[in-house]
Amino acid sequence: MSVVAAGVSKWAVRDVSFELPPGSVTAVVGANGSGKSTLLNVLAGHLPPESGHGAIAGRVAYVPQHKPMYKSFRVADVLAFGKHMNKTWDGERADEWLKRFKVPRKLQAEDLSGGQRTHLTLALALGARPDVLLLDEPLSELDPLARRKVMSELLTEVADRGMTLVYSTHVVAEVGGVADRLLLLSAGRLLLDGETDDLLEEHVLYTGPHASKSPVKGPVVQAKHGVSHSSYLVRSGGAAAGEPWTARFVTLEELVVAHLERAA
């Protein structure tokens, strides 16, 4: 699919194609302005793609980054609104989520903290019983401990209900073990699309004597040369390099940064 941003003659997202297996968790990663929100908007059906399609089968719930809300509504009103808007509303599920995070039902939306607003919008989205839940930077207003707690609870929802989760984040370090799949966007293009574990196992950093050529076969993602040594990050599939090269796996963060630097 491709999308042109409104009022701009530049591609916001271009030639992006991927699948979302049911029950999977996908992290959409990229710098600000890389097209993450545009992509989620297309998946949510809020932006028509210029070409191709971004159709999702089943019920979709989408929580945008800025979490819009009627200020004069109390928490209970927001839930009542959710019930009114959704034929398939599951009030118990929404209530349970709010109880879990201790959000009082009497509070007014304008008095909610950033964290409480996050919990309320998630409760609203989950109450709609989505097959696919799309979250744009869902954890951005939470402290590190709350981020973990919310992600654990979301993953439990995924495990219990077979829900598919797609979320954007720029905290790559928190993606490991959480996302089955990683989509890396840069300037509206898809740099990486793969299983998180596979990406980690395919990329190896080789360090050895100064060399103008990679010691193994495979696409070189990054080459660095010092005075006496060179290092190559290669998508080698884990191939071994001969002496005196040493090899080590890289973290997801190193991997993403290397790909972004290569694309820049």
Binding site for another protein (CB under 8 A): 23-25, 148-149, 151-153, 155-156, 158-160, 173-180, 196-197, 200-201, 248-254
CB of 78 to another protein, least distance (A): 26
CA distance 73 to 169: 29
Instruction: List helix spans (H) across the chain.
Output: 36-43, 75-85, 91-100, 114-127, 144-161, 196-202, 252-263
What residues form DSSP beta bridges with 29? 169, 184
Our CB check for another protein shows the closer of 201 and 261 to be 201
Nearest to 205 by CA among 253, 262, 246, 243: 246
Our CB check for another protein shows the closer of 5 and 171 to be 171
CB of 42 to another protein, least distance (A): 24
CB-CB contact of 117 with 150 (8 Å): no
CB of 76 to another protein, least distance (A): 27
* Residue appearing with tokens 């995070």: 101
CB of 250 to another protein, least distance (A): 5
Our CB check for another protein shows the closer of 15 and 143 to be 143
Our CB check for another protein shows the closer of 113 and 152 to be 152
Our CB check for another protein shows the closer of 13 and 165 to be 165
Q: Which residues lie closer than 8 Å to 210 by C-beta, 6 or more apart?
A: 225, 226, 227, 228, 229, 230
CB of 148 to another protein, least distance (A): 5
